[in-house]
Structure 1
Amino acid sequence: MPLMVLRRRLWQALTRPVTMNSGITLDVVTKTAELTALHADWERLVDSMEVPSPFLSWDWSRTWWETFGRGKHMRVAVLRDAGQVVGIAPFYRATYGPVRALVPFGWPDRLTEQIEPIIPEPGRDRVNSALSEWLLKEHALGLAPGLDRSTALLFGERALRDDVYFDWRRLPPTWDELLDGLHRSMRGNIRYYPRLMERNGHKLAFRIADDVGAVRAALPKLFALHTARANAPTGERHRDRLREPSHREFLQRLASVLPKNGAMKLGLLQVDGVDVAAQLWFERNGTIFLHYSGYQPEWSRFSVAMVVTSEIIRTGVERGMRRVEFLRGSKQFKTRWNTEQRMQTDIYYVRHPLLLPMFHRVRSLRRKLRSRSYRRVGGQPATEPVAD
């Protein structure tokens, strides 16, 4: 049998729809054209999620693949029940030397703050069971993030589990009502720092870039301010998440699409006509999703990062937004907004349990090396950053 024919038959076998034990049918999308065909079902499912997030949207995923997908093998699981799409889990196969692993779209760029299978209720447990069955049967090693606790337990002793916390809060009808619900010190700081700058003779202005041209023009200012904060000579060091050209390209590509639907905005705080702080955020279904920020370190004593965040939330309340998400990781600069928490579990799984201890050691070593590379001796910053 010719080699090309053998390869074609093998590939067809790997991508042929299969029926899982739960009765859910699963097939694998491997081409961009097939991904495009999922657009309507993808958006329908996202709108039915507990938190309909822009990070889960078809536009985000398509743009991510266009930017980061070169040289990768797409493996998007599409789950159907009685012919209807009831779940989508976008993965790709990554190669690390001799090791191949299945990982999700958005990993490990640290720009996609929410990564989870797009599987809403009703029937979520049944669909998740089918997905976990496929992951363990078809792939020897992988990462399945954003699972609920019951789904995470399906992987048994063949997985390492990391619980991830997300801070969020509901937004009241008025800004004054939100302020009244905050701790007295936080409420005072929100009012104090703008007045302090004005008493020192400075003129403040907050502007929002919210259309395609304005967002694309404002992004380089965010990049510069984010880098300035990361390179500050004193205080706690922060990673420059926006340094990589591919990360900047990705955000610029998003800025050509998402602002058309009001889903991507950028706020800038100007002092005496100069941009001193900025923050990016996204919106969907009445929710604000705060993202990366930056500021000039010499203005940190005025808590300009907090001022930007408070202005984003204030204007959101005035526009009728109902919720704000502070995204991955729980820290004091988030919880001071009187937040609630939800938890998801990231699963690092192996098909063969004997490999788990070795996998754990490799992962622990990698985390230690990354931590040491960003450690800096010095005092705490004068103000907390808005986002990591």
Structure 2
Amino acid sequence: MHLPTTSGTHFGRSPEVDWLHCEVVQTILDIQILAREWEVLHGCIPNASMCAHPEWTIAWWNNFGHRGRGAGRETQPYVLTFRDADRKLVAVIPLYEDQPKSLLKLRRLRSMGYLGRERAYDMTEEPTVLVEPGYEQAVFKCLAGHLRLRLEQGRWDFVAMIGPGSLALDAGGSLESLAVVRSNQRSGSDDVKLPESWEAYRRSLSKSMRENIPYYPRLLTRDGHRWEVRKLDKAQDIPAAVARLAELHKSRAESVRGRQHSNHLHTATQVGFLRDFLVTMAKEESAFIAELLVDGQVVASQAFYGQGETLTLSYSGYDERFYRYSPIFVIHSVVFREALEGGIRRINFLRNIGPWKTRWLAQTGEPMTRMYLVRRGLFSFARYFGHTAWIGFERDVIRRIPVLWGRAQRRLRQTLRESMVREKGPDPVTSTEPAVN
């Protein structure tokens, strides 16, 4: 197996699977050179996540990859790719190294995109591992050999990866002599396979859903509002649309109405990441933002990705004043119908099944695996437990302060609204709850 250095692209044959070549890409330039092949592989894999697309990785690295530099640590891409005997690209595993300069701090190899801590750079829980069907066992066996070599060399104390359900079985099992291996399976993406027509899909929904699809548009009209759902799919329109989406996403997170949501776009870097990715994908006619306008004002927004026969939902938000009209539901009703009529046969709602998804008949798909490796050795264990102790203190104490403060502010706003309603009567826009959240 090859020995990657700190930059460039390096090739080598795997001794574990002698017909499979392993490649490590460690610069953003080489990732960009690889992107075309990577995109072809992505397009050949049924139900591949948009978070496994090369442009997603490039946007993530350009916005978040520099986060540790200048703070006593170095970060760099560590993208593992695998080619068959004919040099055909069959798998990509986008990782990155976090190498602190201090010997007391944890040296890590992690999946790009998600660290499990809801930091500013946690932009997905979707697996970013991309493997052509039929190559899984060989690729993960080769991956295990590569990790074994690096663990023997002491390059990392900790490895964290998110991948298909077979990842830990095929890769983690052979590493237990060198590392403590832990894994857990989580539910995969929630999706629905669509029939040939919108009418057939509508008929398959529950009676209440069939009634709600026309109900909320009629309610908007009945209350004297002019409304429309517009689709922004030109690259030049995306930056302004993302800015509006971020504000509405924040409004949804701060709302005291309905289910509590997190704000995943609370930093300029997060917004920049989403903007960069959507602009690139819009140029390829693979992304758009749908907005609900009421009386000329944007009151709800959601980003969508489309590739092949799959439509994937992304970030959304709405103006709390229009909560009673279920604005996101109105967007979905229009977008889903147009998508189905345009040839879409699968809607990917991403993971975490919920009532609003099951109403659209979404079901949980293939499970995913989170695999964690801690290198055996006194210093690696010491660095790992010291790191986790600090993370626990930061999560339970330091990061709880703004959360509690924000919760107190939301409760105060709700109390003031209720007080105003008692004094002046109900606001016609916000006085009732929607039947569908």
TM-score range, shorter chain: 0.7 to 0.9
What is the RMSD of the two structures over their aligned residues, measured on CA atoms? 3.2
Find the aligned partners of 1:287 and 1:40 in 2 and give their Cα distance. Answer: 20
Report how far residue 158 of structure 1 moved. Answer: 1.0
Aligned with 1:93 (options 70, 87, 97): 97
Q: 1:199 to 1:347 in 2, by over 3 A?
A: same
Report how far residue 9 of structure 1 moved. Answer: 10
Q: 1:300 to 1:10 in 2, by over 3 A?
A: closer
Aligned with 1:314 (options 337, 340, 344): 337
Residue 12 of structure 2 corresponds to: 17
Report if aligned partners of 1:74, 1:91 keep a CA contact under 8 Å in 2.
yes
Q: 1:67 to 1:11 in 2, by over 3 A?
A: closer
Find the aligned partners of 1:220 and 1:11 in 2 and give their Cα distance. Answer: 37
Report how far residue 148 of structure 1 moved. Answer: 2.0
Report how far residue 264 of structure 1 moved. Answer: 1.2
Work out whether 1:228 is the aligned partner of 2:251. Answer: yes
Residue 102 of structure 1 corresponds to: 109
Residue 53 of structure 2 corresponds to: 57
Find the aligned partners of 1:170 and 1:18 in 2 and give their Cα distance. Answer: 40
Opposite residue 80 of structure 1, the aligned amino acid is R
Note the 1:1-388 alignment, pairs <5 A: 17=12, 19-23=14-18, 24-70=20-66, 71=69, 72-82=75-85, 83-95=87-99, 98-108=105-115, 109-112=121-124, 114-138=126-150, 139-149=156-166, 151-152=168-169, 154-156=171-173, 158-342=181-365, 343-352=367-376, 355=381, 358=385, 374=403, 376=407, 382=433
Report if aligned partners of 2:160, 2:371 keep a CA contact under 8 Å in 1.
yes
Report if aligned partners of 1:152, 1:345 keep a CA contact under 8 Å in 2.
no
Q: 1:10 to 1:348 in 2, by over 3 A?
A: closer
**More displaced stretch, 349-358 vs 162-171:** 349-358
Report if aligned partners of 2:168, 2:183 keep a CA contact under 8 Å in 1.
no
Find the aligned partners of 2:13 and 2:403 in 1 and give their Cα distance. Answer: 45
Opposite residue 334 of structure 2, the aligned amino acid is E
Find the aligned partners of 1:359 and 1:160 in 2 and give their Cα distance. Answer: 21
Report if aligned partners of 1:144, 1:347 keep a CA contact under 8 Å in 2.
yes
Deviations 1:335-381 (A, max 9, x none): 221112212112122233995995997577777677897575879x9
Using the size of structure 1 for normalisation, the TM-score is 0.86
Opposite residue 267 of structure 1, the aligned amino acid is A
Find the aligned partners of 2:45 and 2:107 in 1 and give their Cα distance. Answer: 30
Q: 1:90 to 1:286 in 2, by over 3 A?
A: same
Unaligned runs of 5+ in 1: 1-7
Q: 1:95 to 1:9 in 2, by over 3 A?
A: closer
Report if aligned partners of 1:21, 1:130 keep a CA contact under 8 Å in 2.
yes
Could you say what secondary structure the match of 2:89 adopts? strand
Find the aligned partners of 1:257 and 1:80 in 2 and give their Cα distance. Answer: 27
Opposite residue 147 of structure 1, the aligned amino acid is P
Find the aligned partners of 2:195 and 2:400 in 1 and give their Cα distance. Answer: 39
Report if aligned partners of 2:126, 2:189 keep a CA contact under 8 Å in 1.
no
Report if aligned partners of 1:136, 1:350 keep a CA contact under 8 Å in 2.
no
Report how far residue 233 of structure 1 moved. Answer: 4.2
Number of residue pairs matched?
378
Could you say what secondary structure the match of 2:189 adopts? strand
Using the size of structure 2 for normalisation, the TM-score is 0.77
Identity %: 27
Residue 176 of structure 2 corresponds to: none
Opposite residue 87 of structure 1, the aligned amino acid is A
Residue 429 of structure 2 corresponds to: none
Find the aligned partners of 1:296 and 1:180 in 2 and give their Cα distance. Answer: 30
Deviations 1:63-88 (A, max 9, x none): 22222222321111122221333211
Q: Which has the larger radius of gyration?
A: 2
Q: 1:372 to 1:318 in 2, by over 3 A?
A: farther
Report how far residue 11 of structure 1 moved. Answer: 5.2
Report how far residue 221 of structure 1 moved. Answer: 1.2
Report if aligned partners of 2:253, 2:261 keep a CA contact under 8 Å in 1.
yes
Deviations 1:137-189 (A, max 9, x none): 42431211022236446414611324133110112222221111111122222
Deviations 1:68-113 (A, max 9, x none): 2223211111222213332111110125770121112222434345
Find the aligned partners of 1:118 and 1:294 in 2 and give their Cα distance. Answer: 30
